[in-house]
Amino acid sequence: MKNGNCFKRITLAAAALALFASGLSPAAEMRTWTNLKGQKIKAQLVSVDDKHVRLRMEGGRDVTIERKTLSIGDQQYLKEYGGAADLEVDPKGKVGMPAKEAKIDTKLHVKRDDKFMFPAPFSSLEFDIIETPHFLVMSSGRVRGKDTAELAERLYHEMAFQHPGFEAKWGDEKKAIFLCGNESDYTQLGEYYRKVLTDAGQGQEAANSAVTWPHAAGAGLRLDGDLCDKYGVMSSARVFKATNKATFKSGVWNPFPTHCLAQDVLGVQMGGVGGVGSQGYFALSTGHGYFKEIQLCDETVTHMIDANTYESDELVKSGGFDDGRKWARTLRSLVKKGKVTPSIATLYRIENARELTPELTVLMYGFARYMQSTPERLACFSKAMERVDTGQTIPEPIEMAKIFGFDSVDAFEADWIEYMKSSAFK
């Protein structure tokens, strides 16, 4: 990668001057530190060097921690307020999977005595509730929300570990997830959603939902203000048709919910930017969903297009579209043969699933995987997502190239292509 690390270096002298001007001292601030395993401690910074961080806990005891195990947000704090140099990383090093490696305390996931209930004329809708630190997981019928609750918390932890500022953006409200164990519950939730849209003057969106909702295995949902206030949840919720065993499987690592919830937590980091007309959002968000689905679950069950439409396509014939585990191998071959030409500009122009072909679907996945394939690239991806939030738009391809350390889109694309031709692309 050219131009080095995407983070600015802050010298010890500059950091000390900034602290003097502000009247602050690193050791004066008690803050929460997070490691790769999801463990958190409240402590003050005492000292930092290239490999270790010394922290003073609330009781006065000092502990020493390996610097490389701390979150990206902690690393930034060490640079900005501790005068630490950039953490040296192997540009080709592996990125961990905090979502899988975290030690999630499921004792904090509590089944509540009350029910999540909707107002008339949907008062027959009642859901059991499991409350976690950041989610309310509702379930009906024979479905239980325990595994989905753990999945959601693991995805939350990974985003918080890898993206500075994520926890502050999330705030105190919890995200609602509905697991419909009865077909009728899913149907009624669709009717409720259309009423919310209609009452908000979004008639066209309501009409679109009426067409797509019955055929989907899950969807986004908006809750009205009264329900949000009553249960302390965000207005943006997620619904799954848990009766569909093909897309809603047992266990924590459930591919379809992983895909959707990974998109949801990334959306919070991006500040809610997106929707029709936001160039680049669909490719970045959907590509990230497929990346996490395949990386964490080792398969994909999420289908946005009908592969039967593309019977003559080499990608479908090889099984590359039907089985996500073969996507990288298939795409690598096609790119090497010149049968698929990766283009960031083309990905940016995709606005919805109707525009997808198998090649574009796998290229979205390949782009997402590339941007998060090494510690250095992941740091740049995090910076890009922060830029989305502050700028309220997706960076143009040339901006994205510069964030990743390249002077041109062509150079950025060339590096991406080389990655997809390599054995590192899986």
pLDDT given for residue 87 in this prediction? 64
List pLDDT tens digits, range 130-144.
999 999 999 999 999
pLDDT given for residue 78 in this prediction? 84
pLDDT given for residue 9 in this prediction? 34
**Domain limits of the chain?**
12-88, 101-267, 281-421
Fold exhibited by the domain 12-88: SH3 type barrels. (2.30.30)
For the four alpha carbons of 425, 304, 138 and 175, in that order, the dihedral sign comes to positive
Residues 6+ away with beta carbon under 8 Å from 282: 274, 350, 351, 352
The Cα-based distances of 384 to 48, 78, 401 in angstroms read 27, 21, 10
Q: Which helix (H) or strand (E) holds 328?
A: helix 327-336
pLDDT given for residue 31 in this prediction? 84
- All residue ranges of the chain with pLDDT < 70 are 1-28, 86-94, 273-277, 304-323
The Cα-based distances of 351 to 9, 216, 229, 366, 368 in angstroms read 37, 18, 33, 18, 16
Q: 115 has which bridge partners?
A: 128
SS3 114: strand
For 47, list phi and psi in degrees, rounded to 5: -160, 160
For the record, the structure tokens of 409 come out as 């889109």
For the four alpha carbons of 121, 123, 127 and 132, in that order, the dihedral sign comes to positive
210-234 burial, b if ≥16 CB within 10 A, otherwise e? eeebeebbbbebbbbeebbeebebb
Q: 33 has which bridge partners?
A: 41
> Are the C-beta atoms of residues 256 and 302 closer than 8 Å to each other?
yes
- DSSP calls for 187-199: HHHHHHHHHHHHH
> Are the C-beta atoms of residues 69 and 34 closer than 8 Å to each other?
no
